Amino acid sequence: MKIFPAIDLKNGKCVRLYQGEFSSSQIVGEDPMQTALNFVAQGAENLHMVDLDGALNGNIKNINSIDSVLKHVKIPIQLGGGIRSLDTIEMLLEKGLNRVILGTAALNNPPLVKEAVKKFGNKIAIGIDARDGFVAVEGWKKSSKIEYIDFAKQMEDIGVKTIIFTDISRDGTLTGPNLEATGKINDKVTCNIIASGGMKGIEDIKKLVQMNMYGAIIGKALYSGNISLAEAISEGRGIPYAD
């Protein structure tokens, strides 16, 4: 299982939110590039980034920070938040991103997903952020009337290969991921599922490995020291960790 340390960008800084509330943002790193390099130094092999300002406003807002990370960090990086057009997707991939994540755009504009998958294949992922079982959009501010499993099946039918699933109520809470909901989406579609939201300790990583998840995103638990990145990577590989 792949481990994705998370860097959420707001006003050019690394922040963490609590249950997706922008008013709860806490700065955890002044320099996204340095934060990314610190993760690499700890053994990171992948990186997950979100432009929170972009998710809220509908277009990329932290491009300077993203550019800086891409220039200095040479591991695969995936990015979501405010990506709503083919031109933006192409621009970001040309800058060196490994994968772009569509969220609001995927729900509001399925033809865009279809065209993006046709053109860019596995470099397109879908972020499904759920609140009470329904897909939330626009920086998690609005909930739709579409159940997350139904939406996942729609994306699978289009040809999407990777889905990042987040239970918003768990995000940033250190209470553990929603294993039931995450397991359900993993069982219902053939897409690679990356679990996100609420990781609290290494036992969560072990459980997700047992559930045959493709990946896990870890944010607050890394910044708070609740999870060692090196240990998480080791467990993700199925190798007992030796400190």
Helix, coil or strand: residue 234: helix
Dihedral of CA atoms 143, 149, 153, 155 in degrees, nearest 10, equals 40
DSSP structure string for 24-45: EEEEEES-HHHHHHHHHHTT--
Give the single-character DSSP code of 161: -
Query: Is-catalytic flag, 129?
Result: yes
Q: Which helix (H) or strand (E) holds 126?
A: strand 124-131
Residues in contact with 157: Cβ distance below 8 Å, sequence separation at least 6, in sequence order: none
Of 129, 167, 171, 204, catalytic: 129
Cα separation, 204 vs 59, whole angstroms? 33
Q: Which of 8, 51, 167, 171 is catalytic?
A: 8
Name the DSSP letter for residue 21.
E
Indicate which residues carry an active-site annotation: 8, 129
